[in-house]
Homo-oligomer: A and B are copies of this chain.
Amino acid sequence: MTVEPSRMLRADAEQNRARILEVARETFAELGLDVSMAEIARRTGVGTATLYRRFPTKEALVTDVFADRISACVATIDDAVADPDPWRGFCGFLEKICALQASDKGFTEAFVAAFPGALDYADKRERVEPEFTELTARAKAAGKLRADFAFGDLAMLFMANCGIIAANTAHAEAASRRFVAYMIQSFRAENAEPLPPATPFELPNFWDSSSPG
């Protein structure tokens, strides 16, 4: 059996790309987002020209590295919506995305880093939002989730958990687990007290005004 050369080239390119993403993720985790493209090329064992052919800018590379991780977060919403108990699905979703954040400090540190700028998560949000909205509507209808829980509270929880993980203390993962348990209690409909107004769903913006090297 023979494989046509163009298909082999495509397979090589695919492996190359996957390897760059893997090395870039490890490197960002170790050194933070301001590592140079040259360093990532060196660690991957490819020339910088090859790296720039796959990822024309560092923003493009970072976006792809993160997109992968964010997709893993997104996948957990499917499990949550499939749960016949909407409150259990809701709580499980929050626990899982927060544990996923906690397990990858590189991603989390990058996420909260003091970098100016913007990565494009709009497509992910368009997928998550209707599913999460359905999940919360069912949990509210079941009388378990407080009626004033807002979509923006999910971003609030996500950012708060980032802060705990980014602190990078010896017990950050345990603190994150306890934190999520506290938040879930505050989201319960029972004995809910009035809150300050909800805020829109917002994730941090990277590279707003400048672009790292």
Q: Which residues of A contact B (CB under 8 A)?
A: 32, 109, 112-114, 152-153, 155-156, 159-164, 166-171, 174-175, 177-179, 181-183, 185-188, 190-193, 195-200, 202-205
Contacts and interface: CB of A to CB of B under 8 A. Distances in A.
- CB-based closest 10 A-B pairs: A163-B163, A160-B160, A169-B202, A171-B199, A186-B186, A167-B204, A182-B186, A159-B167, A162-B163, A175-B199
B175 A152 contact: yes
A205 B168 contact: yes
Nearest to A204: B167
Contacts of A153: 178, 182
A181 to B, nearest CB: 5
Contacts of A169: 155, 159, 199, 202-205
A112 B156 CA distance: 16
A66 B59 CA distance: 32
A185 B196 contact: no
A121 to B, nearest CB: 13
Contacts of A182: 153, 183, 186-187, 195
A160 B164 contact: yes
A104 B204 CA distance: 17
Contacts of A203: 167, 169
Contacts of A205: 168-169
A77 to B, nearest CB: 21
Contacts of A177: 196
Contacts of A179: 156, 160
